[in-house]
Every structure is written in C-alpha cells, then in structure tokens.
Amino acid sequence: MRWRLLSGAGSTGPGRRPSSWLSSLLFQITVLAFFCTFYFFCCLAESILRHYNLRVFFDIQNLRQMAELGLIASGMGIASLGIQIGSGIIKLKQLWDDVNDAPEDIKYLLEEIETLSDLLSSTDENDNLPRSAK
C-alpha cells in the first residue's frame, strides 16, 4: 500500500495566511500590467521627446530597458506559477489514483488480519490442551 501526501497541504506557518494559486496569479497579472503600462509610457515619452527634439535630465531609453526587463521577469513569474499549478495537478492525480486503489489495499489487509486471527485462535486453542495432548 502506497500513500503519498501533498507536500505542504494544509500547513501554514504561524501568523501566515494560506495563499492560493488564484491570488498569486492575480498578483502576477497586476505586476505584468504595471510593467506593460510603464513600457507604453516610456515609449510614448521617447517618441514625444524625439518629435519635439527635447532633452531631459535622464535617459528615457534606460527606463524603457528596465520596463522590458520587468516584462520579462513578470512573464517568467507567470510561467513559474503555471509550472507550480501543473505540478500540483499531477500530485492531486496521484493522490486520487491512490485513493481509488485503497479498497483493494483494505481488502488485502482484511484478509491478512483474518489469517492472523485464525492463526492466533488456533494457537490459543493449543494452549488450552493438556500437556500430554501437545
């Protein structure tokens, strides 16, 4: 009989709220939306500055490159979350398969218990016989 437990299922540390994949996904989407908006405004500001031939005290291209890195990092975060959800689904499937196999395992264990019970009762009956009959 093999039983697998979901790692970390139902265990939260003291003072920690249990996190769900939905709240994590919403956070990742919010970060991605922020970096998309930031990238859009950097590109818009850069085009306006070029159009009017204006100069600013900071480099817009560096801001745009930072926004691009943020977009990449957010995309990687969402991909990581997808991998974690897939891993959780696989573990849940394995647990479901083990639960479905449980009746067969229980039947086997009951047969073993019956066999041991018969063996113990026959041993007990032999103990009650006189010494000469043994």
pLDDT tens for the 134 residues of the chain, in order? 344 434 444 444 444 455 677 787 788 888 888 888 888 888 888 888 888 887 776 777 777 788 888 888 888 888 888 888 888 889 889 888 888 888 888 889 999 999 988 888 887 666 665 665 55
The structure's pTM equals 0.48
pLDDT at 113: 92
Domain ranges of the chain: 21-127
- Whole-number Å distance between alpha carbons of 134 and 123: 12
Nearest to 8 by CA among 123, 87, 104, 96: 87
> What contacts 12, CB < 8 A, 6 or more positions away?
18
